[in-house]
Amino acid sequence: MKILVVLAVALILCGCQRNPYAHIFTTDKPEPSRVVGRYLLQDQTLVSGGTTAMHGRTCEVVLSADGTFAATNVPPFEFGAPEISSLDSLVSGSGRWRIESVGSIDNGFGKPKTHWGVRLGSVGHPLAFAGFTGQEAPYGLIFTIGDPDSGTVMILRVKDRK
């Protein structure tokens, strides 16, 4: 009987997936003033080659204190998994931003924690959602592309705090 229990637990644990970046997600809601700044691409896993695959194109998000943003070459928002297969699918735009929940983190043994991030655009027409990384300023941004468990992301770090 013990062997059956051990096998059942092993099968459950092997079947569980998790986002490989969950450990860097921001779980305490940051104050808007603490996330204002210019974020630049640090790494991407959409295609091979990391940042050199951008071939000199800028990927940045500027969050201004007045609640506006400007984004260049970020993943577009689509309900469900975005159909992004290349860096040519990235979009640019501007508008208003706000902090909100972009998901949750659950280790399977307790209460899920909220993953805080930013909505770029209006409720009806968001340009993109990005999660915050880090537990204190300076925060980073992470765009998850497709299935969160796949590890396909674009990670941005603060270059300039405004």
Q: Is residue 149 part of a domain?
A: yes
pLDDT at 87 over 90: no
What's the pTM? 0.82
Say if 4 falls within a structural domain: no
41, part of any domain? yes
Chain segment 112-151, per-residue pLDDT in tens: 999 999 999 987 777 888 999 999 999 999 998 888 888 8
At 27, the pLDDT band (50, 70, 90 cuts) reads very high
**What is the total count of domains within the chain?**
1
Cα separation values, 106 from 22, 43, 45, 112, Å: 9, 25, 23, 4
- 82 belongs to a structural domain: yes
Residue 59 lies in a domain: yes
In-domain check, residue 77: yes
Q: Is residue 1 domain-resident? A: no
**pLDDT tens digits, 63-86:** 999 999 999 999 887 655 555 667
pLDDT of res. 23: 92
Residue that wins the pLDDT comparison between 14 and 159: 159
Name the pLDDT band for 6 (thresholds 50, 70, 90): very low
| Percentage with pLDDT > 70 across the chain | 83
**Residue 12 within a domain:** no
pLDDT score, position 146? 81
Domain that holds residue 24: 19-160
